[in-house]
Structures are given as C-alpha cells and as structure tokens.
Amino acid sequence: MSVRLARRLTVSLLVLAAVALIAVSAATGAGNNAGNLRVTAKTQTTVSLAWDSFGGSDYVVHFWKDGNWVKVTLPRTQRSYTWTGLLPNVQYYFWVKSGNSATSLVTPTTDPDRTPPSAPGNLRTGTVTASQISLAWDASTDDTGIREYLLTASPNEGNVIWTGPTSVNVVGLKPLTEYTFTVKAQDLGYNWSPSSDAVSATTAASSDTTPPTAPTNLRVSDEDGCGEVDLRWTQSVDDQDPQSAIRYRIFINDAPDPVGIWPIGTGRWITYGVVDGLNTFVLRAVDSAGNVSAPSNSYPITLNIC
C-alpha cells in the first residue's frame, strides 16, 4: 500500500470512528443504558455479545460498519449474538436497543492476525501475444482470508498489479521481450505471503511502427496542498492497441516523474510535484510496441508547502 493511500485510509478510519461515537451517543442518549451489554468472546474475525433482559420489545443489535449502522433484530428469547466476517485488529462499535431503552456502547478490538498466508502455487502463463501475457495461479490459504494478490514483473515497466481473482491479463508489454513474473498474497491482517515460484514468457514480434495519438486536454489540480496533484486527460488512441494497453509517461519540468510508475489505460493519475514553486506537467503516450506519441499540452501549476 502506498504512503498516500495508507494516510488516506488512516484519516478515513478516524473520521468513521468519530462519526460512530457521535451517532451512537445520540442514539443511546435517550435510553437508560440498560442490559449490561458485554463481549463474551472474540477472535480475529468474530465478536460475541451478550446482554441481560431489558426493555419491552425485540432486541435490535446495532453494528457500525463501513460508515453505516448495520442492524439485526432478534426475538426476546435471545440475549446473545455473534458478528462474523470482521477484520483482524480493528475496533468495532456495538449497542443494543429494545423499545425506548438502549445499552451502553461496547468497542472491542478483534484479535490481531500475525500468521502470513501460504505462497500462491502453480503460477503459470496462458495466452501470449506481442503486448499481453495472461497468468493464473492457485489460491493461497490463510486463517482469516485473502485480501488480494500482488503480481510483479521483471522488467518492471510499471507492471505492478493488485488483483482479487487468481488470474490476470498483463497488457502493454513490449514485443520480443522476456518477462519474469512472481505473485504473493496479502491476508486480512495485512500479512504478506512468501512469493510464488517465478515463471517467464517472451512476447511475440510486432510490426507496429505507428505511435499513438498525443494525449489531449491535460489538467492538473493541487490535491492536498502538500505537493500531491491530480492529473486528468483525454486518453490517446492507437491503430493496434486498445486504450487499456496504452501507457503514459509523465514529465515534470521536462524530467521524467521520479515516482517511476507509468499509468496504463486511464485518463487520471495522482502523483507529486516539487513543492514551493512552479511545476509544468506534460504527458506522452506509449503503445505496446514502444512507439512514443507527441507531447500533450503542457500544464503549469504552482505548488506551495503545506
């Protein structure tokens, strides 16, 4: 996970936690904090709750998840419930209501997951063309579940792919080039598996000598005031490659983007400029045969220190 994404995820979780506390405080404020709601057991992915008899109607168990309250209604004869499918090492928010009475809020944290998944097995290639290689592998096993897989290629050329399924089609490759691939799994506790065994394949020859059209309508906006910028443009077209296979080289002040990752098959990208000064952004499109387009329009923007 990138630093930018990790930072945004942390902020989002803090916001959700604050909203949850405000929401449940408002919801339970009119109640009498009855029921003695308590956590009776928890694992990496489950939380078991129990409470004493209170109120005069069915019990409604509230659970704050993904920015919303999830509710389940239980009969008066039931005074326990287990939530499943949770994430490891995450604090969750629960309360129970019956009529106009409500319990206090309980905020357990699921157990951490420190066991990595097994390595993906049997990584193999399928269809190979001048610009694409399809791959598949056997799923990893884990005690909490697999979040996603990370496929990497050598030479890299931006071929770092996150995927949920156990197969992927890598596009935008160079013709007559040998690529070596590995894949590893990440579980719900963010533990990494060992890498799979490597597999190699060589792309076919290509007679393509025509570059893509130049990207147009490049716009750049200051994303967060700390050098992070949002680039948007109208995608290029090519006589042989689909738009999904066209890569874009980003140039900042006439130099290649130092982040070193080429966006592919998109008209939007987030990267970083040089803070406290004028930055000029330009794009060039590259097809799978390595043909480079003319430059896009240049876009100047001044970035200030946050």
Is pLDDT of 14 > 50?
Answer: no
Contact 133, 170 (CB under 8 A): yes
Tens digit of pLDDT for each residue in 125-171?
999 988 889 999 999 999 889 999 999 998 876 566 788 899 998 87
Apex 304 CA angle, 300 and 306, nearest 5: 145
Respond yes or no on whether the N-terminal peptide bond of residue 155 is cis (omega within 30° of 0): yes
Distance CA 306, CA 304 (A): 6
Tokens for 293, please give them.
């387009």
Buried b (16+ CB within 10 A) or exposed e, 24-57: beeebeebeebbebeeeebbbbebbbbbeebbee
Q: Say what the pLDDT of residue 120 is.
A: 97
Distance CA 46, CA 86 (A): 6
| Percent residues over pLDDT 90 in the chain | 59
Is pLDDT of 295 > 80?
Answer: yes
Tokens for 10, please give them.
């942390």
Q: Say what the pLDDT of residue 130 is.
A: 85
Tens digit of pLDDT for each residue in 55-104?
989 999 999 877 788 999 999 999 999 999 899 999 999 999 999 999 99
Question: Residue 266 — left, alpha, or beta (φ > 0 → left; ψ -120 to 50 → alpha)?
Answer: beta
Q: Say what the pLDDT of residue 218 is.
A: 97
The DSSP code sequence of the chain is --HHHHHHHHHHHHHHHHHHHHHHHHHHTTS---S--EEEEE-SS-EEEE----SSS-EEEEEEETTEEEEEEE-TT--EEEE-SPPTT-B--EEEEETTEEPPPB--BPPP--PPPPPPEEEEEEEE-SS-EEEEEEPP--SS-EEEEEEEEES-TT-EEEESSSEEEE-SPPTT-EEEEEEEEEETT-PBPPPPPPEEEEPPP----PPPPPPEEEEEEESSSSSEEEEEEEPP--SSS-GGG-EEEEEETTEE-TT----BS-SEEEEE--SSEEEEEEEEEE-TT--BPPP---EEEEE---
The number of residues making up the chain comes to 306
Mean pLDDT of the chain: 86
Q: Say what the pLDDT of residue 236 is.
A: 97
Tens digit of pLDDT for each residue in 224-239?
667 889 999 999 999 9
* Domains present along the chain, CATH in parentheses: 3-102 (2.60.40.10), 121-202 (2.60.40.10), 216-303 (2.60.40.10)
**Considering only 44-53, 157-166, 242-251, which range has the smallest mean pLDDT?**
157-166
Q: Say what the pLDDT of residue 155 is.
A: 87
Q: Say what the pLDDT of residue 84 is.
A: 92
Average pLDDT rounded to a whole number, residues 267-288:
90
Return all residues near 15 (Cβ < 8 A) that are at least 6 apart.
none
Distance CA 99, CA 233 (A): 55
Is pLDDT of 275 > 70?
Answer: yes
Distance CA 222, CA 228 (A): 6
How many Å from the N-terminal Cα to the C-terminal Cα in the chain?
A: 23
